Amino acid sequence: MSIITTEDGSHSIHSDQFGVSYHSKYGAIQESLHVFIDAALRFKIQSNPASISILELGFGTGLNALLTLQESQNHKMVFNYETFEAFPIEIKTAEELNYLEMLERADLQDHFLQMHTCEWSTPIVINPTFNFTKHKKSFSEIDSSNLFDVIYFDAFAPNAQPELWEPALLEKLYKALKPNGVLTTYCAKGQVKRDFKKVGFEIQSIPGPPGKREMTRAIKV
C-alpha cells in the first residue's frame, strides 16, 4: 500500500493487492462527505431518531469513521458505530494520513488513532456520544437483523472485488438494516442497482461526488 494525495489535498491509499485506491482521485474527504455523511447519515438524521446505529463496510483509512465522529459532536444523540475490515492498514500508515490537518481538527488526533489501535470486536467509548466497535472480518460474516439505521457500503468497486456485490451479500445488508434504514454507495452500475432491487431495496439514483455523475441510495422498505 502507498499513500497518495487526491485533488482536494487529502490523502488516500493505493492498494497494490487490488489495483485500486481507497477513495476518489478527485478528493478523498469531499467524496466521503458527499457519499456517506450527506447522502446517508444526515439524510437519516432528518427523521429525528433518538439515537443512530451505523455499519461501515469497510474501515480502510478510518476517514468515514472520523467524519462521523466529527458529525456526532453536532447532534444531541448517541452514535453507535460498527465497522468491518478484513485487510487493515498498518498503524504507521494511519499516523501519516493528513485528515486531521485538512479538517483542522487536531483535537481528534488521539481519537482517530484510538480507532486504528483498539482491540478488534471490543466496544469502546470514544466520547459520550460516539461508541465504536471494529471487526477484523470479511463482509460475508455479517449476521445481524434490524440493527442498523445506516450502512456505509464502501467496498472496492465490483471489478476489483465482485464477490462483495453478489445478491447473497446484499441480502444480508438488507436484513441488517432496520425498516426505513438507508444504505449508500458511490457505485451506480446498472447491474448493482438491479441486484439491490432484487433483494428488496428501494433505489434512488442521486448526484454523485465530484468526478462521478451518479451514486446510489438504497432504502429498506
pLDDT at position 25 is: 94
> Measured in whole angstroms, how far is the alpha carbon of residue 137 from the centre of its chain?
15
pLDDT value, residue 36:
98
Look at residue 19 in the predicted model and tell me its pLDDT. 83
For the chain, what are the domain ranges? 27-220
Reported CATH class of domain 27-220: alpha beta
> What is the model's pLDDT at position 76?
82
In the prediction, which pLDDT does 17 show? Answer: 81
Q: What pTM does this model have?
A: 0.96
Q: Tell me if 206 sits within 8 A of 36, measured CB to CB.
A: no
Q: What is the pLDDT of residue 1?
A: 84
Residue stretches of the chain with pLDDT short of 70 = none
How many Cα atoms occupy the beta-carbon half-sphere of 168 within 13 Å?
6
